[in-house]
Structure 1
Amino acid sequence: MTEGAALVRSFASPPPQSRHWTFTAAATAVVTPALVWGIDRSYRSMDRCLRDRGLRISDPDLDMPEACAGSSVLLGTLALVAIAYLAATLITGLCVGVWEGRRRRGFGCRRWLVVAVVGLAAPWALVTYAAGYGIGRLFPPPAVSPVSTAWTDGIDAARRTLEFLSQGGQPGSVPAPGFFTDEPVYLDAQLHYARHYGSTVSYQQTSTVAFGSTAFVTGALLANAVGNASARSRAERLARPQWREHQLTRVMLTPTRTWCHSFGRWLSFDHAGVLEYHLDHHGVVLFFADTEPLRLTGPAAWVHAVFFAYFRFGASALNTVPFLMPLRAATSSAVSAAPSPQD
């Protein structure tokens, strides 16, 4: 697989988001130790209050003294919160596991550090997630949503244009009042624009000083570690080469150039400088020797591919240019599906 094909594939299948795992790890690392610490303190306080009055929690006919009622209410409230927390994490773990398993995502989105934190802070949630993940893998993956009418119309227009030009037809220019080039314009459309390059991203490490019980300090340190790891991974994710400058822009095609109106200015891309050209069901990608790759996405991208091949290689090459193969296949399918005169 060439570098260009890999970039096309990476755009077509972006990595799944996994922020919910980071949030879950941070939340469980804080909530679980806090609940354990609160319940333990409340229980010890109530037990000490009862012992001071010659009573025990295990007494069968315990009549709670008024002086100990506050500790008793607090303990009961925290116990209800713990039960609700346990039920919520169990249900959430099961549902997320089924959802990610059916979509064939990696276990825990392959965020092994946060998975380990969740396993330490809420092992019951990780167990139900694993069970749900296994159940989700048993289901077929969700069906791909049907292509919209606009995309279908764009592909049909490109197919008709390819057939017309292949048979010796001459392309017609479109009016472009106010456009500053002397060349005729053959395509004037709205397309999604993006460029592929890396960047430099900085981030800050934080430190936490916690005082209290061992469980509370451990939870605070775990939450701080998860936060630092999340900041580092986010910076790495933002810095690596990826598609940037996403915007809906006006695209003009002339015989020698593609013009894109990006952030208030016109950018010119010389067709002679294109090293590779890729077409897929999302759009087109142009690779250059001296600038970042250009991605154009939208229904009109298929028409752009036809005109680019026509002006760059000539009408005789329309049936042999490799990147037009999907469009030629669509044309062949349409012809074979057409009813014969005898029908």
Structure 2
Amino acid sequence: MSFVPSPPRSRHWTFTAVATGLVSPVLLWGGWRSYQSWERCLRIQGVRISDAEAEIPDACSGVNAVFVLLMLVGIGYVAATAVTGLCVGVVEGRHRRGFGHRRWATATIVGITAPWALVTYASGYGIGRLLPAPATDLAWAEGRDAGPRILAHLARGGQPTTVHASGFLTVEAVYLDVLLRYARHYGVSVTYTQTSAVAFGSAGFVAGAMLANAIGNSSAKYRAERIARAQWREHQAARVVLTPTATWCNVSGLWLRFDHAAVMEYHLDNFGAVLIFADCEPLRLNGPPAWAHAVLFGYFRFGAPALATLPFLSPIRAALSPTP
């Protein structure tokens, strides 16, 4: 198994709902008001709007130009949102994502304010579902499915399967050899320089220079505090090997050993696992194979009977539960 980036978030649906919710009513209102103004102007000039052969009076040419401009903008807006909906639908359907990312509230707003875009999105989504899924998505699904499969196998009394870890030498058997995203959580010490400004000139110039210097010092202090605070660092892809007693991570060419017996807490979410230790910085392993790591870690650390009750395995046990 190999690492595949986490599925993208669905913020574009929120943006689309907000954008169409604002733009569509404005264009509709502007077009209707300009049409009414044009019709009123023609009526005053004694021209009927249904008379195709009548020339537009000069007094109404300005109003007519505004109406035509808004019509062209509206047509362009409808065409652009329709094409965008079609393209996004094809991409999301091919990647087997939920319809509208299952953001039903935002999808409803888009359907009300730009129904043509939702229709083309649905058409594109159907086309995308007929296309083969990308290899990266298949790898993601395979990696995520490995955890529940291993858990079910071990729960039935099966034994974990060893794997061949090419180039990795250990006296212990290896049960997992995957690529995951590696990160550590810690703070650092940061030094920064405060500057002092000396200005000569008018009172306004001196005050401006002092203010600019204060703003610069404040910005440098904030930047240093932001860099120094505890956060996830050292983000990189790392080869991760699991044995019965330890998890090994190859970071920048060096093998780091994390003893399972030293793990104080283990947290699991949709995208990764977090291991907290008593004497070193927390470790995060991000990617689909993290679920397999969680199951094997629980098995070797606590034994097969504990797999049914370990709290951090609850997302995997939920994935095993039949959908009602």
1:68 maps to which residue?
Answer: none
Distance 1:158 1:180 in 2: 25
Secondary structure of residue in 2 paired with 1:278: strand
Change (3 A) 1:211 1:151: farther
2:298 alignment partner AA: A
Q: Which runs of structure 2 are paired with 1:44-55 in the superposition (5 Å)? A: none
Which of 230, 239, 243 in structure 1 is aligned with 2:228? 239
Q: CA deviation at 1:152?
A: 3.3
Residue 281 (structure 1) aligned with residue 266 (structure 2): no
- Identity over aligned pairs, percent: 63
Which of 165, 172, 182 in structure 1 is aligned with 2:161? 172
Distance 1:215 1:331 in 2: 71
Which of 157, 175, 185 in structure 2 is aligned with 1:186? 175
Distance 2:288 2:200 in 1: 60
Task: Report Cα offsets for 1:91-134 as digits up to 9, x if no partner.
Answer: xxxxxxxxxxxxxxxxxxxxxxxxxxxxxxxxxxxxxxxxxxxx
Q: Which of 191-200 and 250-259 deviates more?
A: 191-200
Q: CA deviation at 1:261?
A: 0.8
Which of 293, 296, 310 in structure 2 is aligned with 1:321? 310
Change (3 A) 1:238 1:165: same
Which of 137, 150, 162 in structure 1 is aligned with 2:151? 162
Q: CA deviation at 1:148?
A: 5.5
1:336 maps to which residue?
Answer: 323
1:233 alignment partner AA: Y
Q: CA deviation at 1:260?
A: 0.5
Change (3 A) 1:224 1:249: same
Change (3 A) 1:206 1:272: same
2:165 alignment partner AA: A
Task: Report Cα offsets for 1:130-177 as digits up to 9, x if no partner.
Answer: xxxxxxxxx979xxxxx9654433221211111111111211111113
1:174 alignment partner AA: V
2:252 maps to which residue?
Answer: 263
Query: Which runs of 5 or more residues in structure 1 are unaligned?
Result: 1-138, 142-146, 338-343
Q: CA deviation at 1:215?
A: 4.0
Change (3 A) 1:149 1:233: farther
Distance 1:268 1:153 in 2: 27
Task: Report Cα offsets for 1:306-325 as digits up to 9, x if no partner.
Answer: 11011111111111110000
2:278 alignment partner AA: A
1:15 maps to which residue?
Answer: none
Q: Which runs of structure 2 are paired with 1:1-343 in the superposition (5 Å)? A: 150-332=139-321, 335-336=322-323
Distance 1:264 1:314 in 2: 32
What's the Cα RMSD here? Answer: 2.4
Secondary structure of residue in 1 paired with 2:294: helix
Q: CA deviation at 1:185?
A: 0.9
Distance 1:279 1:226 in 2: 42
Task: Report Cα offsets for 1:70-107 as digits up to 9, x if no partner.
Answer: xxxxxxxxxxxxxxxxxxxxxxxxxxxxxxxxxxxxxx
Between the two proteins, the alignment pairs up a number of residues equal to: 193
Q: TM-score, normalised by structure 1?
A: 0.52
Distance 1:207 1:223 in 2: 11
**Which runs of structure 1 show a deviation greater than 6 angstroms over 4 or more consecutive aligned residues?**
none
Q: CA deviation at 1:282?
A: 2.5
Q: CA deviation at 1:249?
A: 0.7
Distance 2:240 2:261 in 1: 18
Change (3 A) 1:221 1:151: farther
1:336 alignment partner AA: T
